[in-house]
C-alpha cells in the first residue's frame, strides 16, 4: 500500500468517525427535546367519553326524522351535523346538540336535544321558523305539524344599511347582535318565578341566503344560559319587494318554555309569555317538546 493510499484511508476513517459522532450528538439532542414536549394522554377523560357517547346517540336519535312540506310532500333536508354542541351545568351538567332543517335560505325548523338524568331521558325541543305548513315525522309513529310559527320578523330600528360584501355584513351582524340583551323568567306552572340572564354566543352557528326571496344574507345566533340554548336570534339583510334599499330585520325563536324578554339598545323588542303546560306537548304548536327513553318509547 502506498503512503498516499494509507493517508486516504486514514482521512476516510476520521471522516466516518466524525460523521457518526455528530449524528449521535444530534440524535441525543432531538431525544432530549422530544422528552420536553407534552405527551397526549393515552386515555380520554370520563367527561370526554360521555360527550362523545351522547353525540353518537343523538345522531341515532335524529337520523330517522324526516321533515316535509305538509302540502306538497317535498322533502326538506337537515343540515348534516349539529350546528352547536353545548353543556348545561345548571341542568345537571348534561351535553346537548342543536340541529336545523333547511339547507337553503332560512332554516324552517330548529331542534335542541339533550340527555338528562341517570334514567337516560332525552329532551327534544322543536320550534318552527316558517308559516309554510311542515310535517316532521320522528320515525317512531309520532309527528309534529305546527300550524304556524311564533317567530315574527321585524325591521331592526336605527340600524345602518347592510354592507356590500359578505365579510363586511358578518362584522355588522356580530356588532348588531351584541346590542341585544335577554333574560327569562321561570313563571310557568311549576316555576319559581326566578330570573335568569341570557348571554349571546357571539359567533353565529349558521349562515344562509336566498336571493330569490330577497334574503341577501342571514345568520343564526344563540341566546344561551351558559352555552345551553334558550332562544334563537335570526339577523337578516333583506331587500323589500317594494323598495330597492337593503334593510336589517330580526326574529326571535324559543328553545325553552320559559317567559322570554329581549331588549335591543335598552328598548324591549320581544316579550313571549311562558308556554302553557298543557300546550308544551301539543304537536300542532310552533314550540313542541317531547321526551323519550333511549328505547324511543315516548313519555311525558
pLDDT in tens, 37-75: 334 445 778 877 877 887 888 898 899 999 999 999 999
Determine the pLDDT at residue 44: 75
Number of neighbouring beta carbons within 10 Å of residue 78: 21
The arrangement of strands across the sheet holding 195-210 comes to: 154-155, 247-254, 228-238, 215-225, 195-210, 180-185, 259-264, 267-272
> What percent of the chain is modeled with pLDDT above 90?
61
Given a cut of 70, whether residue 298 has pLDDT beyond it is no
Cell numbers for 5: 493510499
Query: Is the pLDDT reported for residue 262 higher than 60?
Result: yes
CA 86 to CA 94: how far, in whole Å? 8
- What pTM did the predictor assign? 0.81
Q: Is the pLDDT of residue 24 over 70?
A: no
- At 90 the pLDDT is 60
Query: What is the structure's pLDDT at 42?
Result: 53
**Separation CA 192–CA 205 (nearest Å):** 31
Cα 277 to Cα 21: distance, rounded to the nearest angstrom: 80
pLDDT at 119 over 80: no
Q: How confident is the prediction for the chain on average, in pLDDT? A: 83
Res 115: pLDDT: 79
State the pLDDT at residue 34.
Answer: 33
Query: In this predicted structure, what is the pLDDT of residue 3?
Result: 41
The pLDDT value given to residue 26: 33
User: How large is the average pLDDT for residues 197-203?
Assistant: 96
The residue-averaged pLDDT of 246-263 equals 96
At residue 11, φ and ψ (nearest 5 deg) are -65, -35
Q: Is the per-residue pLDDT at 97 higher than 80?
A: yes
Residues 270-287: pLDDT tens digits? 999 999 888 899 999 999
Q: Which residue in this structure is represented by grid cell 333574560?
A: 183
CA distances from 120 to 6, 9, 84, 109, 240 (A): 83, 78, 21, 25, 48
What's residue 154's pLDDT? Answer: 95
Tens digits of per-residue pLDDT, 27-42?
Answer: 333 332 333 333 444 5
pLDDT at 128 over 50: yes
At 175-197, the pLDDT tens digits run: 999 999 999 999 988 889 999 99
Structure letter (DSSP) for residue 78: B
Amino acid at each position: 500500500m502506498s503512503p498516499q493510499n494509507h493517508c486516504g484511508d486514514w482521512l476516510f476513517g476520521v471522516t466516518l468517525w466524525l460523521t457518526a459522532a455528530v449524528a449521535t450528538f444530534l440524535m441525543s439532542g432531538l431525544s432530549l427535546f422530544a422528552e420536553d414536549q407534552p405527551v397526549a394522554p393515552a386515555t380520554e377523560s370520563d367527561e370526554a367519553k360521555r360527550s362523545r357517547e351522547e353525540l353518537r346517540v343523538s345522531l341515532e336519535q335524529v337520523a330517522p326524522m324526516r321533515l316535509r312540506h305538509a302540502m306538497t310532500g317535498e322533502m326538506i333536508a337537515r343540515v348534516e351535523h349539529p350546528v352547536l354542541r353545548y353543556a348545561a351545568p345548571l341542568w345537571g351538567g348534561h351535553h346537548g346538540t342543536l340541529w336545523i332543517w333547511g339547507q337553503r335560505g332560512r332554516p324552517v325548523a330548529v331542534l335542541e336535544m339533550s340527555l338528562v338524568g341517570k334514567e337516560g331521558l332525552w329532551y327534544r325541543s322543536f320550534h318552527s321558523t316558517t308559516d309554510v305548513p311542515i310535517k316532521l315525522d320522528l320515525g317512531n309513529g309520532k309527528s309534529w305539524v305546527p300550524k304556524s310559527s311564533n317567530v315574527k320578523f321585524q325591521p331592526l330600528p336605527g340600524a345602518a344599511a347592510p354592507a356590500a360584501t359578505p365579510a363586511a355584513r358578518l362584522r355588522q351582524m356580530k356588532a348588531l347582535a351584541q346590542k341585544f340583551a335577554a333574560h327569562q323568567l321561570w313563571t310557568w306552572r311549576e316555576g319559581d318565578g326566578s330570573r335568569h340572564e341570557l348571554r349571546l354566543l357571539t359567533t353565529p352557528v349558521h349562515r344562509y341566503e336566498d336571493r330569490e326571496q330577497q334574503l341577501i344574507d342571514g345568520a343564526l345566533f344563540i341566546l344561551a344560559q351558559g352555552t345551553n340554548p334558550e332562544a334563537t336570534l335570526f339577523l337578516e339583510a333583506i331587500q323589500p319587494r317594494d323598495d330597492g334599499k337593503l334593510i336589517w330585520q330580526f326574529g326571535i325563536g324559543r328553545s325553552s318554555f320559559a317567559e322570554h324578554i329581549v331588549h335591543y339598545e335598552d328598548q324591549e323588542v320581544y316579550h313571549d309569555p311562558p308556554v302553557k303546560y298543557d300546550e308544551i306537548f301539543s304537536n300542532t304548536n310552533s314550540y313542541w317538546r317531547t321526551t323519550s327513553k333511549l328505547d324511543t318509547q315516548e313519555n311525558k
